[in-house]
Structures are given as structure tokens and as C-alpha cells.
A and B are shown apart, each in its own frame.
Chain A
Amino acid sequence: MFYREAGQFKTSYQADAAIFPIRQDRVAIAAVLVIAYAVIPLAATPYIFSALLIPCLILALAALGLNILTGYAGQLSLGHAAFMAIGAFASYNFMLRVPGMPILLAFVCGGLCAAGIGILFGLPSLRIRGFYLAVATLAAQFFIVWCLAKVGWFSNYSSSGVITAQAIVILGYTFDTPTAKYLLVLTIVAVMALAAKNMARSNIGRQWMAVRDMDVAAEVIGIRLVYAKLLAFAVSSFYAGVAGALYAYAYLGTVEPEAYNLDLSFRILFMIIIGGVGTVLGSFLGSAFIVLLPIMLNFTMQFMEQTLHLSIPMSAASNLELMVFGGLIIFFLIVEPHGLARLWQIAKEKLRLWPFPH
């Protein structure tokens, strides 16, 4: 009854093409921003910032990058963590080797390096697709991480291979508290999510989806497949690169190749599968879900042990997370390929009709 478009007549194409066409959505977004910027910084503890909110936002950004490539443009990638690694190491080296380098510019340059390498590894997509492309991106994952670990120059010849990220200083202010880091990450992620949403509703977004749905028809209508596909790789890798730099600078505090292994690539892929392929919102839902799941499971187990005095064997406890993950992935792949974002959409459609279902 309350969530609906009734009475909100769109009198222009401007209004119809607006980023959030329904007023309630605009209100919801405004509310989320107020909570994120005003309420959370006052309410959350340092633990919640460092262990939950910061990784959740950063991984959502990485998932958004993968969603642009896989969800919108239909090109599967299993090597997204490697592009994050490039962003992190490139940012580190720009900070190290360019005197007076502003850190935000270093993040952008890190993203651009990732974009460049992303285009390179996107070249096979012009010839192959599906399974074979996935294997090619898997090769990227192993090759890039191996390269960053083996070539000493990238880590400034540090003996352990693990290097401490430089402090984040912007205009003389040092972002060293969890709250400050959170606000910085939040701002970068919000701006980039907005840009992604804009691309999705513009010509380039339609070109990507057209290539995904039917590439021959896309070319016949005048879309250059080479441009559309490689741009998807570039933009997607740029997002991954910036996310990777933030992962190192705002979350881990170190820059190390091992942090960006295949496991992370898969987690990001699971995020978009669970959250929703081809939606901006889904990237956030998926990330929140996957960051929260282990914590929720832990919490449940503790509850079961302490309150119900059920003893759960350690081996079962550690495997439970994997089992729940596996089950959910299969559930979403089979039952709801469009993920949580689609369930949200369905709920909204129901709400729009409620309480008169017909």
C-alpha cells in the first residue's frame, strides 16, 4: 500500500530514466546514506568497522567490478582477485617511487594498471567464450599472483614478500582510525557504485547486456564487440584494482600476493551469484551476506552450545560454513539465478500490490 508508484506520474523521459524512478526508492537510498554516514560512525565499535563494515564495502566494490564483467557483459572471470592484487601492488609502487604522490591518485593509478592488464587478459574473449574463457582467466589468476611474488621489484625486494602499506594521508589528515578508514572507503565505494549505476542505465550498459544476451544481433545493430567486451574488462578490472588497493591499505594494512589468491576470486564470484548477477544492489547484498555468514554461523553455534548445551564436534563446526556455502550456491544457481536482488525485487512487487493482490 505504501510502496508504489501511484500518483507519481512521469511527465518526461528525464523522470522516467532517473536513477531511482520511484520516490520510495529515493527515500530508502537517502536513509541508507544517512545511516552509513551519521548513525554508524557513532554507533559501531572498532571491531565492527575493521572486521565487518570495511571488508564488506571493499569486497562489494570488487563484486561490483566482477558484476560489470560477468553480470552485465556476460564474460565469466575466475581471476578477479589477481586484478585486485595488481591494484594493490601498483598503488604501493606509485606511493613508493613517485615523490609526493597523493594516495587517492595512487589508487586511481592502481586501478588503471589493473585496467590495462585486464584488457590484455580480455583479448581471448574476442575469440573464445564460456568454459574456455573461464580457464583463460584462471590462468591470469595464477600467472599474475606468481609474477607479483617472484619479481622482487614489485615488493621492493622485501625479504618476506609481505610489505606494510603506507599510511593513508589526504590533505594532511591521516586516516588511521577504523572510523576514518570506514568513511574513506564508504565514500569511494559510494561514488563508484553511482558511476556503475549510471553506466548500467546508459548506452554502454545496454551495449554490454546486448553482447551478453545475443552477440551476433548486437553486432548487426552496430555495436562493436571488440570495444564493448574490452571496455567491460577494463572497467571491471579498474573497479577490482581500486578494491584491491583499498583491501591492502584500509583493511589488511599490508600488501602481499597471497591475500589475493584463487579463494578470494571464488568468494567474489559467489557474492554476485548469491547477491544477484547483473545488478548493482546485488553486489552489496552478496558481499554483506558472505562477510556476515561465518559470523552468524559462529554466533549460532555458540548459542547452541551455551544455551542449549549441545556439543558440536570441532570438525563439524569448521565444515559447516563450507556446507552452508555450497548449499546456498546450488540453491541460487538452480532456484533463483538472479540472487538476493531478485528476491528483493519480487518482495517489492508484492508490496506494490499489497494489500490488494489483483
Chain B
Amino acid sequence: MSAPKTESVRKIGDTILKLENISLAFGGVKALTDISFDVREHEIRAIIGPNGAGKSSMLNVINGVYHPQQGTITFHGDVRHNMRPHDAASQGIARTFQNIALFKSMSVLDNIMTGRTLKMKANFIEQALWIGRARREEFAQRAKVEQVIDFLEIQHIRKTPVGRLPYGLQKRVELARALAAEPTLLLLDEPMAGMNVEEKQDMCRFILDVNEQYGTTIVLIEHDMGVVMDISDRVVVLDYGKKIGDGTPAEVRGNKAVIDAYLGVAH
């Protein structure tokens, strides 16, 4: 991460990600049907909807884990075809998972260091001999990782294997790993699920801080409507794989279809 800027760099800009007519099916199951929406630079874009609505599938489409049968994805002006997840990563997309996907037996530090993997250029022979670039990069990237560790306030667990951490902290470490990649687009799949109120507040603060200080564009899946209404700029609502609403939190809240499908049911 670059040094935190004192004033906010957050000023919603142009569209950086555009999804048009995305359809995705697994065998007979239609996970997504003809979905279009866009994401603008520096905004926090929420995706909401009941379980099984296709929210996680949507994120998987954006970062290349799933390839939709139909539709186009335009990122930074380029149309992407069947992109692999690591290509998405090298274009600046990072994410966290609904079910924590950390490297369980590695320490917190090593997990976050993997977030810097694309910044390291030394080949394996330099690494085996621990010479030149390999050494220099290791220390330079470590310094960057320490900034992320400070930012997320996890200094005390640096050397702990992540498998031993409580759930809430694991979620935070996963965010740290994604942030270490210095993404331009950050995808968060239910970052607050299963957390207590205090942990949720912390997580909210971190998400807002990332967005404000680094200007990172965030696409966020979240169930807690209070949180969504508070922190997001615009919201997409999915239900049974279809888009049934799109707009500011206030607009979405007033949308009849949304109230029937989701808000009405959940509350």
C-alpha cells in the first residue's frame, strides 16, 4: 500500500467495470440470467439478495473463476474473454471468499506475503541462492506487508498460523491478504458474515478506510441491510439469478420488487 493520504481521494469517477447481459448456468441450474450492471471508480457497490440468488457466482464471474456462457465483461475499457483468475489478479482485482479461503497452515505473515506475489520478479534460482533480486524483494515486500498489518491492527498475530485464529480475525487476515495486492478493484464476499457486532463495526471501518484512503473500488456482498445502507454508494439486488433492482440505497429501499423479494422477507 502506498502511504495513507491525509485527505480523502474518494471522488466517484468513470465506469471501470461493465457487465453486460451475463448468463451463467451449471448444467440445468441457472445461476445468473441476463445480468447487466456497472461499477464506477472509487465507489462502494453492494450486491444483495437472498441465499442462492447468484451473488457469489457474480463475483466469481468478475474475477475469472467462472466463465459465463453469455455476456461481456469490460474492465478498464478492455473486453475480457475467458480470463483466468491470475490474469484478473494481475489486472488489479483482489477478493475475499464467503467461506474463508486462507492458507491454513501458513502464518498470518506468510499468508499476507502471498498477496505480494505478483510484485516479485526474482526467478526461483535467485530465490534458491538467496541472492540479488530475491533478497531485496523479500525485504521490500515485507515492508509493504507490515504497512497492511499496521493498517488492519493485526501486529500481535503476525507469526500465528491462521488455522489457530478465531473466525473474526481470520476474516481480517483474508482482507489483509487481498489488500496486500494493492488492488484497484476489491471484491468482498460477505466480509461480516458470522461476526459479532463489535467485529462488524471494525470491519465496516476498515472497508470505509480502504475506500477513503486508497481510493479502492469495492464490490461488496452483504446480508446485513443496515450495513449495506450505511456504507454503499449503489446497490444491485439479485433474486433467483435475475437483477430486480439497481440504484442508491434509498432507491432500492423504495423499489417494490425488492421489498417483495428480499427486504419484506428478511425483515
Contact = CB atoms under 8 A, between A and B. Distances in A.
B167 interface: no
Contacts of A212: 103, 105
Contacts of B138: 13, 17, 202-203
Interface string A202-224: 11111101101110111111111
A211 to B, nearest CB: 9
A195 interface: yes
B117 A223 contact: yes
A203 B137 contact: yes
B94 A221 contact: yes
A216 B97 CA distance: 10
Contacts of B130: 19, 198, 202
Nearest to A278: B105
A13 B102 CA distance: 23
A293 to B, nearest CB: 28
Nearest to B135: A14
Identify whether the interface residues of A are mostly helix, strand, loop, or mixed.
helix
Interface stretch (B107-115, B197-205, B249-257): B107-115
Interface residues of A, number: 34
Interface centre among A14, A216, A221, A225 (most CB of B within 10 A): A221
Identify whether the interface residues of B are mostly helix, strand, loop, or mixed.
helix
Contacts, number: 109
A210 B120 CA distance: 16
Contact of A14 (B103, B118, B139): B139
Interface string B87-121: 01110001101000111111000100111011010
Contact of A217 (B97, B110, B146): B97
B186 to A, nearest CB: 12
Contacts of B84: 219
A205 B134 CA distance: 12
B204 to A, nearest CB: 24
A278 B110 CA distance: 15
A206 B110 contact: yes
B105 A209 contact: yes
A115 B85 CA distance: 28
B114 A221 contact: yes
B102 A217 contact: yes
B217 interface: no
A231 interface: yes
A216 B106 contact: no
B40 interface: no
25 contacts: A12-B139, A13-B146, A14-B139, A17-B138, A195-B128, A198-B127, A198-B130, A198-B134, A202-B128, A202-B130, A203-B127, A206-B106, A206-B113, A207-B117, A210-B103, A213-B103, A214-B103, A219-B85, A220-B89, A220-B95, A221-B114, A222-B90, A222-B117, A223-B114, A278-B105
Interface of B: 63, 65, 84-86, 88-90, 94-95, 97, 101-106, 110, 113-115, 117-118, 120, 122, 124, 127-130, 134, 137-139, 142-143, 146, 177-178, 181
Interface of A: 12-14, 16-17, 19, 195-196, 198-199, 202-207, 209-210, 212-214, 216-225, 231, 235, 278
